[in-house]
Chain A
Amino acid sequence: MLDVREESRPVALESAPEEARWRWKDLLDTDVLDPADIQLVMDTAEAMSEVRSRPMSKVATLRGTTVVTLFYEQSTRTRASFEVAAKALGADVVNLTASGSSVEKGESLIDTVRTLEAIGADLVVMRHGKSGAPYLAARHSKAGIINGGDGTHAHPTQALLDLFTMRRHLGDLAGRKVLIVGDILHSRVARSNIWTLVSAGAEVTLCGPATLLPTSLAGRSERGSVKVTTNLDQAIAGADVVMALRIQKERAERGLIPSLREYIRGYQVNARRLALAAPGALVMHPGPMNEGIEISPEIAHGVGSVIEEQVSNGVAVRMAILYLMATARTA
């Protein structure tokens, strides 16, 4: 993968490496990223994926950089994925959870991030139950804030790893049909995926029960489009990617869906429905899965499933983000 430059005039540089121009102090959502930003993440993640495959899969690049994971909500994979990524780059990692910390004693988010900054945190990966909380943290912290999922708003690194996984299998996503099924209203994964997928030129369809389907997300840009529908059997026809989202039992308790049984009837991704998708369609899920509810087990572990790949790609993509942000911030 050599980059052959069109320009062939001699320039007075001594084999200067091409620069990674990352513009963002924080990564709060994917909606502010332009195609060049996304391409930079994808290319860097490709390199990180190669690093992960080496006999010695750890480098010392971010030696001296401190990454704090600040998780106000339970999470296994996202926190672990960031920790592995940070350590693979040689950064020091401090893991904080809300329980057992000063947060339990009523410390405000702003005070917490300022304290982390004072003890030398360069990057703070934050998971928070309230939409927009990382924006508040970012406005009051010199440390770079990486949104590891905020409320029902955004989960940018998940969207980037989803894009990375799709591109590895499908190449250019222009004109590709990507279907996201489930509780769109409460899904930070769906929201962040919309921006990266539309930027990549995909035709996105959001599908779910009417009570969980925010219709204003439908729209069209110069590159891609977003449609919303409640009819899964129609929406899945010809889909290149089928992404099922986790449905929480709480939605039934709150009356947003009559029951999980009723949900399964209308919206489970299963073999019968997947047969309607494009041949070889990718099956994705951000995890953790409720197998037998939003996705049937034979599909979750079937030939088209790239769900485990999403998890391993997550480390490479998060390495890319950490590298780009840690190095950009010292610039």
Chain B
Amino acid sequence: MSIEAMLGREEVGRTLRRLAHEIIENNRGAENLVLVGLLSRGYPLAKRLAAAIEDFEHVTVPVGRLDIGLYRDDVTRRAAPPRIRPSEIPADIDGKTVVLVDDVLYTGRSIRAALDALLDFGRPARVRLAVLIDRGHRELPIRPDFVGKNIPTGAFQSVQVRVAEVDGDDGVYVFDEEATHA
């Protein structure tokens, strides 16, 4: 099996700090900002981004978590449906700038679902998208505003982001699909 480590723990940390700066810059500060992370791995990344923003700007940024299971376009087609978890949006998002945070951007379908889910909680002034990895292969017209790293991948590869809060440590790996099916 071929596994290639693309980012290590320290690189993930540096990348997140850079993304935090970009978000502040784009938003002209940290006011009216709400970060919403997708479950499972986007949420801890959103919390870390918020902590970094607070560090830089000394402003508390609310962080929400979003489960998109009920909004997936394949929910009644999957061999096994996703387990649904409660979402939590801690602040009123009406008129705010919401940054959706996820680990990997791929087809764009998760983000489509996340947008639908988010809009059930209110009417933000604008929604931005931050991802740690963009691996390409979009199937919907969705593009990220903040990208940690672009990793061009082949159709027979997959990307896994590991996050300490979920997986025990940080790191980004690229797998060879053929190897995993062997």
Shortest A308–chain B CB gap in Å is: 21
Q: Say whether A43 contacts B160, CB under 8 Å.
A: no
CB–CB A2/B43 < 8 A: yes
Contact B83 A14 (CB under 8 A): no
> Does B124 interact with chain A (Cβ within 8 Å)?
no
In the complex, whether A248 has a CB less than 8 A from a CB of chain B is: no
Total number of B residues with any Cβ neighbor in A under 8 Å:
47
Q: Let me know if A107 is at the binding interface, CB within 8 A.
A: no
Contact with A along B132-176 (1 / 0, CB 8 A): 000000000000000000000000001111100111110101010
B83 touches A17 (CB 8 A): yes
Q: Mark A317-331, 1 if CB is under 8 A from B, else 0.
A: 000100110111011
| CB interface residues, A 193-245, toward B, < 8 Å | none
Indicate with 1 or 0, residue by residue over B40-72, a CB within 8 angstroms of chain A CB atoms. Answer: 110110000000000000000000000101110
A18 and chain B: residue at smallest CB distance: B83
Question: Hey, which chain B residues are within 8 Å of A59, CB to CB?
Answer: 70-71, 120
Complex contacts, B122 vs chain A, CB 8 Å: 55
A289 at interface by CB-CB < 8 Å: no
A35 to chain B, nearest CB (A): 16
Least distance between A243 CB and chain B CB atoms (Å): 27
**In the complex, chain A residues 1-28 whose Cβ is within 8 Å of any chain B Cβ:** 1-5, 8, 10-15, 17-22
How far, in angstroms, from A4 to B163 measured CA to CA in the complex?
Answer: 10
- How many interface residues does A have (CB within 8 Å)? 46
Known: A47-B86, A61-B71. A13 touches B158 (CB 8 A): yes
List residues of chain B with CB within 8 A of the CB of A89: 70
Is A48 interfacial (CB 8 A cutoff)? yes
How far does the alpha carbon of A57 sit from the alpha carbon of B162 in the complex, in Å?
33
Q: Give, as a whole number of angstroms, the nearest-CB distance from B165 to chain A.
A: 6
Please pick, from B80, B88, B121, B175, the residue contacting A19 in the complex, using a CB distance under 8 A. Answer: B80
Q: Is A250 an interface residue (CB 8 A)?
A: no
- A10 and B173 within 8 A (CB): yes
Q: Is the interface of A mostly helix, strand, loop or mixed?
A: loop
Query: Which chain B positions have C-beta within 8 A of A12?
Result: 1, 158, 160, 175, 177, 180
CB contacts (< 8 Å) of B177 on chain A: these are 12
Contacts of B171 in A (CB 8 A): 10
B167 CB contacts on chain A under 8 angstroms: 5, 8
A15 touches B83 (CB 8 A): no
**Which of A49, A51, A320: most chain B Cβ within 10 A?**
A51
B66-92 residues at the A interface, CB under 8 angstroms? 67, 69-71, 75-88
B84 near A323: Cβ-Cβ < 8 Å: yes
Question: A10-B173, A20-B83, A44-B84 given as contacts; is B166 within 8 A of A5 (CB)?
Answer: yes
Is the Cβ of A47 less than 8 Å from the Cβ of B85?
Answer: yes
Are A64 and B165 in contact (CB-based, < 8 A)? no
- Residue among A14, A18, A54, A59 with the most chain B CB within 10 A? A14
Report chain B residues within 8 Å CB of A62.
76
Q: Mark A291-331, 1 if CB is under 8 A from B, else 0.
A: 00000000000000000000000000000100110111011
Question: B120 near A21 (CB under 8 angstroms)?
Answer: no
CB distance from A46 to the nearest CB of B (A): 6
Q: Do A15 and B78 contact each other (CB < 8 Å), given the known contacts A2-B40, A47-B84? A: no
A56-B177 Cα distance, complex, nearest whole Å: 40
A40 lies within 8 A of chain B by Cβ: yes
Q: Is B125's beta carbon under 8 Å from chain A?
A: no
Residues of A within 8 A of B (CB): 1-5, 8, 10-15, 17-22, 40, 43-44, 46-51, 54-57, 59-62, 64-65, 89, 320, 323-324, 326-328, 330-331
A selection of 14 A-B contacts at a CB cut-off of 8 Å is A2-B165, A10-B175, A14-B160, A15-B160, A18-B82, A43-B84, A47-B67, A47-B69, A47-B85, A49-B86, A50-B88, A59-B70, A330-B77, A331-B78
Q: Known A-B contacts: A19-B80, A43-B85. Give 12 more (CB < 8 A).
A: A2-B44, A2-B166, A10-B3, A13-B158, A15-B104, A15-B160, A17-B40, A44-B83, A50-B86, A50-B87, A323-B84, A330-B76
Query: Which residues of chain B have a CB within 8 Å of any CB of chain A?
Result: 1, 3, 39-41, 43-44, 67, 69-71, 75-88, 103-104, 106, 119-122, 158-162, 165-169, 171, 173, 175, 177, 180
